[in-house]
Amino acid sequence: MMRGWEQEDDKKLLHLEKIMPQQWTIIAPVSGRTSSQCIERYDQLLENYDKWLPWEIDSHPDQSKPAPPDPDPINMDDDEKKKACTADSRL
């Protein structure tokens, strides 16, 4: 049985997407939904942003675009893996 989205669910989804941009396979289990459900709800929230109260959003969605997802190390070629290791060692 599919449950509806409560205000707290929306807040949680927005927060998770903000800290893990477009990482729907990670966000889904944390939110208790499928990736598709999370994506669909997030899109609905963005479409209706003009109806939100000030406390429900940090900034206008067009002004704060999500960062692209980090590359998947499984699909990285050897050169990309070396660059990633070098970058990690500098931290």
Q: What pLDDT, in 10s, does the model give residues 24-79?
A: 999 999 888 999 999 999 999 888 776 665 555 554 555 556 666 666 666 667 77
> Helices 35-47 and 24-31 sit at what angle, rounded to 10 degrees?
90
pTM of model > 0.85: no
Cα–Cα distance measured from residue 13 to residue 41, given in angstroms and rounded to the nearest whole number? 9
Cα–Cα distance measured from residue 12 to residue 18, given in angstroms and rounded to the nearest whole number? 10
Q: Where are the domains of the chain?
A: 7-90
Q: What pLDDT score does 42 carry?
A: 92
Q: What pLDDT score does 7 carry?
A: 87
Residue carrying the six token digits 């944390």: 30
Cα–Cα distance measured from residue 21 to residue 85, given in angstroms and rounded to the nearest whole number? 22
Q: What pLDDT score does 72 carry?
A: 62
